[in-house]
């Protein structure tokens, strides 16, 4: 057995894979298998790694799933570097044997190894809510207070009594009535309550009624968490809002959020050029220019558009200078003859 897919499939286990590096989103089994085989790049790499959760269950025990939280290095085109995954498989087989379905699994020990990934508390809450919802299990005890607050009584101080797990449960279980109620109260929410809600909304397909309400907000309310809440919005309306943003003077935080949450927008070279030009108009934009370019070129969906943007003939003098400095940084160092 040489892959995670083989270990689980041959053991008769059902499994699902979720990206945990950018947003909590499902990766199809076919995508994951081809990634493990080296045939496809990881779709959502972050900082040179594939960070994902494998949720698996033994045969006839679907209601008691286990969880691997894994982080493997990827190469410059985001394909798997096999050595880490192979080392992990060796540890799994050594600890559990080749018949994982009949192994005595210690849930805590599953993520006690060098390739374990520790997501944010918020992402873990969203993943937990999604797993429970998919298994038709009841929400946590924090769900009802979150439901009452966001759908009925968004008071100035009531958010302080809420558990983040309840907000994650709420967004994972949205129906049309609840979404409409949340949309109605969105602009009444205290900032901390809206920020917490946005951190959960960014992981779901955003209901149209909430999307419409967010897009109606004035420019002075279009801050970082507003952008995060719109992560799962329908592409065309979101694209129009992003284009408007890029025409204004943006902060570094907003531009980093655009790159990190709305990368799909930058799959066209003209849009990538606009992002890079906006970045260089910011104070300290030069300081994060290389990191932002590296982030976009690592994402398969954006790689070609970003590379084309770096060769864009109509770029500004400032962008040409930044690109020149970038290439100088990655230029191989000259060979030094140690005999001299």
**Is the separation of the CB atoms in 53 and 16 below 8 Å?**
no
**Is the separation of the CB atoms in 162 and 198 below 8 Å?**
no
Mean pLDDT of 101-111: 82
Predicted confidence (pLDDT) per residue in 21-53, tens digit: 999 999 999 999 999 999 999 999 999 999 999
d(CA 8, CA 14): 7
Mean pLDDT of 72-99: 93
Predicted confidence (pLDDT) per residue in 178-203, tens digit: 999 999 999 999 999 999 999 999 99
Kindly state the DSSP code that residue 120 receives in the 8-state scheme.
Answer: -
Residue 339's pLDDT band, with cuts at 50, 70 and 90, is: very low
Supply the pLDDT for residue 108: 79
**Is the separation of the CB atoms in 281 and 261 below 8 Å?**
no
d(CA 243, CA 324): 26
Domain ranges of the chain: 4-119, 122-330
Which three-class secondary structure state does DSSP give residue 196?
Answer: helix
Asked if the model's pLDDT at residue 259 lies above 50, the reply is: yes
Supply the pLDDT for residue 103: 82
Asked if the model's pLDDT at residue 335 lies above 90, the reply is: no
Q: Match 């994060």 to its residue by tokens.
A: 288
Predicted confidence (pLDDT) per residue in 315-327, tens digit: 999 999 999 988 8
Mean pLDDT of 207-222: 94
Supply the pLDDT for residue 283: 81
Residue 286's pLDDT band, with cuts at 50, 70 and 90, is: confident
Supply the pLDDT for residue 330: 60
């Amino acid at each position: 057995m040489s892959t995670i897919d083989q270990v689980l499939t041959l053991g008769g286990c059902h499994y699902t894979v979720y990206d945990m590096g950018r947003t909590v989103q499902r990766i199809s089994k076919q995508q994951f298998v081809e990634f493990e085989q080296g045939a496809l790049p990881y779709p959502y790499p972050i900082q040179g790694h594939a960070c994902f959760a494998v949720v698996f269950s033994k045969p006839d025990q679907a209601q008691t799933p286990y969880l691997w939280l894994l982080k493997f290095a990827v190469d410059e085109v985001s394909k798997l570097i096999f050595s880490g995954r192979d080392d992990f498989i060796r540890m799994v087989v050594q600890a559990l044997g080749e018949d994982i379905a009949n192994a005595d699994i210690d849930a805590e020990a599953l993520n006690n190894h060098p390739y374990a990934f520790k997501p944010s508390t918020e992402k873990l809450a969203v993943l937990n809510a999604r797993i429970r919802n998919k298994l038709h299990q009841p929400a946590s005890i924090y769900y009802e207070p979150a439901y009452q607050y966001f759908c009925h009584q968004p008071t100035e101080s009531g958010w302080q009594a809420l558990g983040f797990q309840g907000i994650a449960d709420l967004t994972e279980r949205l129906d049309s009535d609840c979404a409409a109620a949340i949309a109605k109260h969105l602009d009444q929410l205290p900032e901390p309550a809206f920020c917490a809600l946005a951190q959960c909304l960014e992981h779901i397909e955003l209901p149209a009624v909430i999307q419409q309400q967010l897009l109606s907000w004035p420019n002075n309310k279009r801050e970082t968490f507003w952008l995060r809440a719109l992560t799962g919005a329908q592409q065309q309306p979101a694209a129009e809002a992003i284009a408007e943003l890029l025409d204004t003077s943006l902060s570094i935080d907003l531009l980093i959020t655009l790159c990190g949450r709305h990368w799909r927008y930058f799959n066209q070279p003209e849009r990538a050029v606009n992002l890079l030009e906006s970045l260089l108009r910011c104070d300290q934009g030069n300081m994060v220019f290389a990191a932002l370019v590296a982030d976009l070129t690592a994402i398969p969906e954006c790689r070609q558009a970003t590379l084309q943007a770096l060769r864009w003939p109509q770029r500004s003098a400032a962008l040409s200078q930044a690109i020149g400095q970038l290439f100088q940084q990655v230029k191989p160092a000259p060979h030094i003859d140690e005999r001299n």
